Amino acid sequence: MRAISRSTLPSAAVAAMLLGGTVAVRGQAPPRNPVSEGTRNGQWPSYTGDVRGSRYSPLDQIDARNFNDLEIAWRFKTDSLGTRPEYKLEGTPLMVNGVLYATAGTRRAVVALDPATGELLWVHGEHEGARAANAPRQLSGRGLAYWTDGTEERILYVTPGYRLIALDAKNGVPIPTFGQNGAVDLKREIDQDIDLVNGEIGVQSAPVVAKDVVLVGAAFREGFTPKTHKNNKGYVRGFDVRTGKRLWIFHTIPTPGEFGHDTWLNGSAEENGNTGVWTQITVDEDLGLVYLPVESPTNDFYGGHRPGNNLFGETLVCVDLRTGQRKWHFQLVHHPLWDHDISSAPILADITVDGRPIKAVAQPSKQGFVYVFDRVTGKPVWPIEERPVEKGDVPGEWYSPTQPIPTKPPAYNRNGVLPEYLIDFTPALRAEALELTRKFKFGPIYTPPVASKVDGPIATLTLATASGGTNWPGASYDPETHIVYASACDACLTRLGLVPPPSKDISDMNYVHGFAGQPFRISRGPGENAGADAAPPPAERPGGGGGSAFVFNVQGLPLIRPPYGTISAISLDKGTIVWQVAHGETPDVVRNHPLLKDLKIPRTGQADSVGTLVTRTLVIAGDSQFTTTVDRPRGAMLRAYDKTNGKEVGAVYLPAPQSGSPMTYLLNGKQYIVVAVSGGPYSGEYLAFSLPAESARPGGAAAESR
């Protein structure tokens, strides 16, 4: 039997298909509030497992002894959920009350699957036309949210065109009493005028639902070369989960009279935008507090149009769940110039420091610092010192004389670039790297960007900025041991050079990202409408293709020495790094390079931030890149580490790299791990692993409360 329904939304056609009749579900009886109970009962009801940013499950059926026995239980290919296959599947599914829910495909469809078999139960897609085609953040997104009042169950997600959709979890049909026929237009009631079709705003993260409030942030195009500093503003809102009514809005750029407005000098709060919350929001349901990780203001690397500290740019803000009123805030970077968006979910951690229990919030970062605060008061658990930083000389720029540096825990990845970070496999390679970087500026964290000059400095070399450290996949937190497990890119190099845009039509900013002597280009996010602001013909083409001025690697090898990527275990009780391992197989080009064939190079890890999952005994994460080894065909590995010491205790083959963060659940006594894989020529697929009957220890499935 097949049911198809269509809504009468003015700007969108909605189709929901119910496959195979009623979805009578299976497994456990519905707990009172699965979202509040988090993963305790073997479910995974929120994007990060709970709404506290943990990515933790107490399940222990899969452990060090049997991880290598894992087999693929089912696979779900996402190709047909859109007009073309997707190669960047980033979602993490939910599993509640015996149904698995996920976003998938180029349409960002929602699917409900049987978590035992992967069978499709229903699918829902929104056809938004030009509105979606113009959206700054397209593709399948990171996930969705679940809500129940004990009888009704809903699934909520945000479309590429920035509409909040509420579906009946039983059949995927939009809830007619939510918003307008199941949808809230997020471009409305946002305290600024945004064109419904062409206006630049969207979000790819999963909404969060806590205590009947839906929390939604905002994202924009890449902030390297924006067309205008008067970009839209990324306010955060809370909505009533029953009706879709807006409950509150938090102005991440304060309006006149609001706290922090005076941190934008010369009236610049009105003249600048971005400053959204594009990553996951975290909630303490008991305290009724929400933790907002705010990104950079316009633009990422030049702030001459926004003198001042620019609250709440790159600030962790705590607001009231019911009202959105600010309780406290801490700005991680004053007057942001390095694209240090707070990029992942804040983590709620009940820790014990020097015998004193603290309700803490811990924020992993691109910088490689974990910033730890008392989450009630906002006071740092360990001192965060304002230290002097270098003042730059980019014309028109405003510089903060100091930046906050945590005294504990130590940074878990390199931030800043020093000559000793360059490749050092052989003296010749190192010499080549030094020559290649001769005209670049080195320095520690918060070394400012430069106005690019052909004779140097061309740019400031940075690690741990745009794509370094811990990015959107975030970290995991173990509530048993009070340890954060954070993956980090330790070799993601970004060159911070600034050039004036070629014309005011390209950008009205004085400076945007670019390099002197190289053709200017506009940086775009996925899916930006090329017709709207197509790049001009290049004015000059020095060097041409293959010119040495462009190539920024050494004999095809990374410029930065290993490790390229790591996982670190960081104790929040002690403020120390407990262990750190290189994560990911050594890339083929390093393993097979003729110049390195006589060297024994320890595993380098891979230059990416990947999502981790922590269980009762293991930390689990997949490789982020393809490799081919003598033992196995081209592919990647899903790895398990002993969470006490970082020792790799198992690894199973993936046909493509992990591209979304793994999750786990228990169903009918069996533990499953689901992970999104995609990349290269391999289109998006959710893979579910479980143990063969002979490997699963009887009674070993340890959901705590029964």
Partner 1 sequence: MNVRAAGLAILGVAAIGGIGSAVRAQEPTRSVWDGVYTEAQAKRGEAVYRQSCASCHGVALEGIETAGPLTGARFTSNWNGVTVGDLLERVRVSMPHDRPGTLSRQQTADVLAYVFSFNRFPAGKVELARQTELLKLIKFEATKPARN
CB of 648 to partner 1, least distance (A): 20
**Span 221-250, contacts to partner 1 by CB under 8 A:** 222, 224
Which region among 314-322, 570-578, 625-633, 658-666 touches partner 1 (by CB under 8 A)? Answer: 625-633
Query: Is residue 426 within the footprint of partner 1 (CB under 8 A)?
Result: no
CB of 646 to partner 1, least distance (A): 24
Query: Is residue 679 within the footprint of partner 1 (CB under 8 A)?
Result: yes
CB of 647 to partner 1, least distance (A): 25
Phi, psi of 45 (to 5 degrees): -85, -5
Query: Which residues make Cβ contacts (< 8 Å) with residue 196, sequence separation at least 6?
Result: 11, 131, 185, 187, 188
Distance between CA atoms of 80 and 89, rounded to whole angstroms?
13
> 270 in helix, strand or coil?
helix
Distance between CA atoms of 345 and 342, rounded to whole angstroms?
8
- Residue among 355 and 544 whose Cβ is closer to partner 1: 544
> 427 in helix, strand or coil?
helix
- Residue among 223 and 646 whose Cβ is closer to partner 1: 223
Which of 625, 659, 661, 690 touches partner 1 (CB under 8 A)? Answer: 625
β partners of residue 184: 164
Which of 15, 133, 249, 405 touches partner 1 (CB under 8 A)? Answer: 133
Which of 355, 681, 698, 699 touches partner 1 (CB under 8 A)? Answer: 681
> Closest Cα to residue 452, out of 506, 393, 523?
393
CB of 529 to partner 1, least distance (A): 6
- Residue among 193 and 540 whose Cβ is closer to partner 1: 540
Cα of 458 vs its chain's centroid, Å = 30
Amino acid at 282: T
Task: Return the DSSP state at 67.
Answer: G
> Closest Cα to residue 85, out of 683, 680, 687?
683
CB of 588 to partner 1, least distance (A): 4
Query: Is residue 367 within the footprint of partner 1 (CB under 8 A)?
Result: no
Structure-token pair, residue 484: 């954060």
Distance between CA atoms of 624 and 287, rounded to whole angstroms?
37
- Residue among 382 and 552 whose Cβ is closer to partner 1: 552
- Residue among 554 and 696 whose Cβ is closer to partner 1: 554
- Stretch 567-606: interaction string toward partner 1, x if CB under 8 A: --------------------xxxx-xxx------------
Query: Is residue 129 within the footprint of partner 1 (CB under 8 A)?
Result: no
CB of 196 to partner 1, least distance (A): 19
Half-sphere exposure of residue 75: CA atoms within 13 angstroms, side-chain side: 13
Query: Is residue 436 within the footprint of partner 1 (CB under 8 A)?
Result: no
Neighbouring C-beta atoms of residue 584, cutoff 10 Å: 30
CB of 490 to partner 1, least distance (A): 14
**Span 452-471, contacts to partner 1 by CB under 8 A:** 466-467
Distance between CA atoms of 620 and 64, rounded to whole angstroms?
11
Query: Is residue 162 within the footprint of partner 1 (CB under 8 A)?
Result: no
CB of 557 to partner 1, least distance (A): 6
Query: Is residue 626 within the footprint of partner 1 (CB under 8 A)?
Result: yes
> Closest Cα to residue 120, out of 130, 129, 128, 110?
110
- CB of 314 within 8 A of CB of 294? yes
H/E run at residue 430: helix 427-436
Query: Is residue 527 within the footprint of partner 1 (CB under 8 A)?
Result: yes
Distance between CA atoms of 359 and 374, rounded to whole angstroms?
6
CB of 52 to partner 1, least distance (A): 27
**Beta strand pairing call for 613-614 and 384-388:** unpaired
- Residue among 112 and 582 whose Cβ is closer to partner 1: 582
Radius of gyration, CA atoms only, the chain: 24
Sign (positive or negative) of CA dihedral 560, 563, 569, 574: negative
How many residues in the shown chain lie near partner 1 by CB under 8 A?
A: 51
Which region among 45-53, 192-200, 376-384, 516-524 touches partner 1 (by CB under 8 A)? Answer: 516-524
**Span 290-329, contacts to partner 1 by CB under 8 A:** none
Which of 65, 634, 647, 697 touches partner 1 (CB under 8 A)? Answer: 634
CB of 462 to partner 1, least distance (A): 13
Query: Is residue 130 within the footprint of partner 1 (CB under 8 A)?
Result: no
- Residue among 45 and 562 whose Cβ is closer to partner 1: 562
Structure-token pair, residue 314: 């790159």
Amino acid at 135: A
* Buried-exposed string 249-268: b where 16+ CB fall within 10 A, e elsewhere: ebbbbbeeeeebbebbeeeb
- Residue among 61 and 106 whose Cβ is closer to partner 1: 106
- Stretch 528-567: interaction string toward partner 1, x if CB under 8 A: xxx---xx-xx-----xxx---xxxx--xxx---------
CB of 513 to partner 1, least distance (A): 9
Query: Which residues make Cβ contacts (< 8 Å) with residue 128, sequence separation at least 6?
Result: 11, 12, 159, 160, 161, 163
CB of 496 to partner 1, least distance (A): 13
- E strands of 129-281, at which residues? 145-148, 153-158, 163-168, 183-185, 208-210, 213-216, 236-240, 246-250
**Beta strand pairing call for 483-489 and 494-499:** unpaired
CB of 255 to partner 1, least distance (A): 29
**Span 78-107, contacts to partner 1 by CB under 8 A:** 84-87
Query: Is residue 378 within the footprint of partner 1 (CB under 8 A)?
Result: no
- CB of 583 within 8 A of CB of 566? yes
- Classify burial at 419, counting beta carbons within 10 Å of its beta carbon; exposed 0-12, middle 13-18, buried 19 or more: exposed
Which region among 147-155, 374-382, 569-577, 626-634 touches partner 1 (by CB under 8 A)? Answer: 626-634
**Span 194-223, contacts to partner 1 by CB under 8 A:** 222
β partners of residue 673: 664, 689
CB of 340 to partner 1, least distance (A): 13
- Residue among 381 and 429 whose Cβ is closer to partner 1: 429
Binding site for partner 1 (CB under 8 A): 84-87, 133, 222, 224, 466-467, 518-519, 521-530, 534-535, 537-538, 544-546, 550-553, 556-558, 587-590, 592-594, 607, 625-628, 634, 679-681
